[in-house]
Each structure stands twice: as C-alpha cells, then as structure tokens.
Chain A
C-alpha cells in the first residue's frame, strides 16, 4: 500500500461508523417516507370508496339527499360519467385557506336518474402525520447513532489501549540498551499472542545483535596476536636475511597490509566502543583547540593548504578523543578527495563546523556516504570506515552531519544544535 495516506486506526473506525450510519439513516428515511405515504394514501382512498358507497345506499332511500359540502356532495346529472380519483384545491372558509383534497367522484343510476356522488378527504392531515412520523424516526435514530458513536469510540479506545501502549514501547526499542521490553498485559487473546511473539522476537534480535557484536570484538581482539607475530617475523626476515630488492618490496608491502588490517581493527573497535556507550562525556571541551591540533597534524602529512576560518569559540560536552577523531576523519577525507593544488577550507562558527574541498561533480549517492565500507571510487586507499565513524560520533552526541555539493565544492557540515 505504498504512497497511500495512512489514517489512524481509531479515526478510521469512527469514519467507517459515521459513513455507514449516514447511509443507513438516509436509505431508511427514504424508504420510510415512501412506505408511510403509500399506506396513508391507500387508507384515504379506501375511506373515500367506502364513503361513496355509503352515500349511494343512502341515496336509494332518500333521493333528495344533498350531502355535506365540500366533503360529500350529490348532484343530478344527465349522463353517466366514469369514476374519477384526483387531487383538487378547495377554499376552506373555516381556515380561510385553499386546501388540498383528494377527491373521488362517480355517477350512479337510481330509479332511472343519474346522480354524481363526490367525496373528498383532506390530504394535509395525512401529510402532517407522515412528516411527524419521519421526524420522530430521524430524531430517534440520530440520537441513537450519536450515542453509539461515542460509546463505540470510547470502547474502541479502551479495547486498543494495550496495543497503542505497546506500539509506543516498540518505538522506543533500542538494541543497545539492555532493558527488557515489558509489554502491557491484555486479556484479549490476539493481543496477548502478539505480545508474546514480540517479546520472543525482540529477545532474539537482541541476542543475535549481542552475539554479532561479541563476535566482531572477539575477532578483532584475537586477530591482534597473529598480526603481531606476522609483523615481528617480517622484521626478523628483513634484518636477518640477505634479500633481493624485489623480496624487500614484497615484505614491505606485506607490512602495509598488516598495517591496514590493524587500522581496520582499530576502527571497528572504535565503532563498537561508541555503540557500547564506552565514551561518557563528562567534561565540556573547547573544539577550537582540538580542531587546530588536527589541522596541524594533517598539515604535516600533506602539501594541500588548509585555510582555517574560525569565527567563534565553541564548547561542547564531548569526549576529547572522539572530537579529534571526528575532525581527523573529516579532514583526511577532504584531503584524499581534493583536487590537486586547491586549498581546503574549514569553518567553525557558533552553530556549525564546515569543511570544503574541491571536486568535479556531486556524489552519485550522497545518501550512502556515511555507510560502512561505501566507496564512490577505487582510486583512494582507505578503510571505508572514516565517515561512518563520523556519523556514529555525531549520532552519539546528537549532532547532525550533512553533505552538500555546491559550486564545485564538496561540503560537509556538522550542526551543533538540533533544529
């Protein structure tokens, strides 16, 4: 259901209820209107026929009968007429109004003479009844719906409460914290089952995560000793044997590979340590000094000019070591990907830190830049962990790192205050 707008559960339930009750109300009101009207009309007509019949019988006994105008009327006519049922408007002097009547008229031959008998009934009465019925019905059903709506809603809220509480708890679920997830108890079977499954699932996820982390730590720890042996043996070999230039080159290159493994290890370890919350920021440190030191160290290792544009004294609660790792990684990243002979610029204001280096084009996948082992090019030798460490450190201290490409410059920015 991608892209479709998501409605909250309770709102959706209320909406369904409101819609269906509105449909029921309209349909039943229409049906009731027509059925009642049919019944009332039928009733009037039946009465008209029986009235007419009664008058005709009275007319046999008394040919001079005049009737009670305008309800019942008898007239002598010359020829026979068809029976007629129609609506007519008649002035009612009592109410001083023109009223709608239903009228039945027909001729009857009595003793060789034609009489026209007309009977009428007031329609207004039946319409009044019709509307009274309809109004009463609608009022009752409307009140019932309103009542049901609120009852339903509060009932639903009650019913789904454990679900919503547990949902909030799940949102707060963190792999790193050892806190067990305590779900809200529910006497609803399905919710209870859901809780049980969620509990098992989160426990399993946590255990897997823990194992994986332990594995990484163990591997990186256990790797150190064999690496030390390899490194020591290479040094022994270089010093004890007569080697050819080619052999020495090979051994040097082995030393470089060991060095890379060592760095990889160190960085994975650092990531693990940050994840394990082994850096507690107890002191407020001045970033300016650390930045200056990082720039000075790096300047020793590159011919690229690094211009510093420091506009404010920034103090943050942060581990000193992590702060320098942060700057070192961003700086060396900028130098590595810089265009030759162009300067790198670092800016520090009270709100953010920025580092700019020149480049030909924006990254193809800027959203992946902070992923572990993600590299856009093969040309530079790196562990692929530098920027993910930057991200990790930023996350740890609630800082926001962003990447832009603007006017031929790659720009990394770290905002010190979350918006």
Chain B
C-alpha cells in the first residue's frame, strides 16, 4: 500500500512514516501545500494522511481538489484543532476519518487499517493472523474456523492488537483506544489489565498464544 503523509512538522512526519513502514507500506512525504498538491497530481495513493494547517495553504483545500479529481485515496485528517465544526467540515468534504492531535501512532494505524478494510479501497471484511480470523462486519473472532465468544471490549482489543501486531502497546494507548475521551474519567488501566487478561485466557485456551507481556506493563501481539 502507498501512503502520502502531508504534515509540516518534519519530526511528526518521520515518526508516522517510521511506524507505518513496519507493515511494509510505502510512505511518501510532503511538508507543505505545494509539494502535497504536486504529488497528489502525479501519483496515486491508497491513503493520504492530511494535516489541516499547512505552511502555504489549507489541508481542506487539498481535500477538495482530491475529491474533485475523484481520486480513490482514503483520507484521514490529523489536526490540532479539536473543534467539532472543523471535524464535520472535513468529513463532509469526503475525509474518511478525523484524528485530533496529539494521537497515538497505534491509533492512527488502526484507523488507517479500518479505512483500508472498507470495500471501496479493495480491502475485505476479514483480517487474518495465522489461525485467527476476525470478521469485521459481524464482529466475531474465529480460531481455526471455530468462533470464540468475546465481549465487545475483548473483540475491540483483539482487533487493535492484530492491526498493531508486533508493536508494543502501553496501557495508556489501549485505554484511550477502548474508551476514547472517557478513558481519563477513572483509573482505566486496571480495566485494561482485566480485559487483556480475559482475552489472553480465552485465546490461550484455544491454543493461540500470541499475546505477550512486554517490559512488565506493556503488551505485544506477535508470533514467538
């Protein structure tokens, strides 16, 4: 898959590219409006990660051009502006998702995967990791073709782990993914622990031992 990262903060741009490249995606970079519009003009991308405040133009204008030319690229907006109006405007213009800065790279990655899964970008509704298969439409997990009973949170957790496989995820990242803005309401880390443990037990029972503890308090989903 080919991504374009339009972000004027070089540090952030590189970090994002670095994280996404681990899944063997090709990441191209654009640091300002002109560079981005040139690249969008010439090449085709599967996903465009778009910052709204660019040095010499607005990301929203790029989005308009993109949609006018009927490019099939999926667009995910990353913006420092958390106002609902901006969010709605971006989504109205045809963006597929909107992420407010600061965000976790794992979260960005899982959102990108979600966009790719949607039919029109040539993905499909199921995700496979060895003997585990997730049906994202019915939200069910299968191990060796047999469905396993997971709670809503456990399913979300498994999907998040598989999309961010072989990366280390701290409790903070997981909590924010599972509860979003509500994750700070209470001590959600204890509940991350409970859910991860339950999921691990259920997977281990059917022989899928991929969920590892990393550095004592983090988690990683990978083959031994």
- Chain B residue numbers with a CB within 8 Å of A40 are none
Q: Does A50 contact B (CB under 8 A)?
A: no
Q: Which listed residue (B19, B103, B181, B182) contacts A239, Cβ 8 A?
A: B19
A259 to chain B, nearest CB (A): 6
Q: Does A154 contact B (CB under 8 A)?
A: no
CA A228 to CA B101, docked complex, whole Å: 6
CA A402 to CA B123, docked complex, whole Å: 54
**B18 — nearest CB in chain A belongs to which residue?**
A236
- Chain B residue numbers with a CB within 8 Å of A331 are 185
- Chain A residue numbers with a CB within 8 Å of B102 are 224-225, 227-228, 230-232, 258, 262
**A335 — nearest CB in chain B belongs to which residue?**
B186
User: Using an 8 Å CB-CB cutoff, how does the interface string of A233-257 with B read, 1 for contact, 0 for none?
Assistant: 1011011100111011101100110
CA A256 to CA B176, docked complex, whole Å: 11
Q: Does A297 contact B (CB under 8 A)?
A: yes
The reply to whether B19 and A236 form a contact with Cβ atoms under 8 Å apart is: yes
A257 to chain B, nearest CB (A): 10
Chain B interface category by residue count: 35 or more
User: Using an 8 Å CB-CB cutoff, how does the interface string of B173-199 with A read, 1 for contact, 0 for none?
Assistant: 100100101101111100100000000
Q: Does A375 contact B (CB under 8 A)?
A: no
B99 to chain A, nearest CB (A): 10
Q: Does B167 contact A (CB under 8 A)?
A: yes
CA A298 to CA B181, docked complex, whole Å: 12
Decide yes or no: A239 and B167 within 8 Å by CB, A221-B80, A269-B82 being known contacts: yes
**B106 — nearest CB in chain A belongs to which residue?**
A235
Q: Which listed residue (A228, A251, A269, A300) contacts B103, Cβ 8 A?
A: A228
Q: Does A229 contact B (CB under 8 A)?
A: yes
Q: Does A301 contact B (CB under 8 A)?
A: yes
Q: Does A36 contact B (CB under 8 A)?
A: no
- Chain B residue numbers with a CB within 8 Å of A301 are 179, 182, 185-188, 191
- Chain B residue numbers with a CB within 8 Å of A225 are 9, 12, 80, 101-102
The reply to whether A232 and B186 form a contact with Cβ atoms under 8 Å apart is: no
CA A243 to CA B19, docked complex, whole Å: 17
Decide yes or no: A236 and B105 within 8 Å by CB, A259-B176, A328-B182 being known contacts: yes
- Chain B residue numbers with a CB within 8 Å of A298 are 182, 185-186
User: Using an 8 Å CB-CB cutoff, how does the interface string of A261-296 with B read, 1 for contact, 0 for none?
Assistant: 011001001000100001000000000000000000
Q: Which listed residue (B84, B170, B182, B185) contacts A255, Cβ 8 A?
A: B170
Q: Which listed residue (A235, A248, A328, A335) contacts B217, Cβ 8 A?
A: A248
B interface with A by C-beta (< 8 Å): 9, 11-12, 15-16, 18-19, 22, 78, 80-84, 100-106, 153, 167-168, 170-173, 176, 179, 181-182, 184-188, 191, 214-218
The 8 closest A-B pairs by CB, nearest first: A248-B215, A232-B15, A224-B80, A228-B102, A227-B102, A228-B101, A332-B185, A224-B101
- Can you list 15 residue pairs at the A/B interface with Cβ under 8 Å? A221-B80, A224-B101, A225-B12, A225-B102, A232-B15, A232-B19, A240-B18, A249-B216, A278-B83, A297-B179, A297-B182, A298-B185, A301-B187, A332-B186, A381-B187
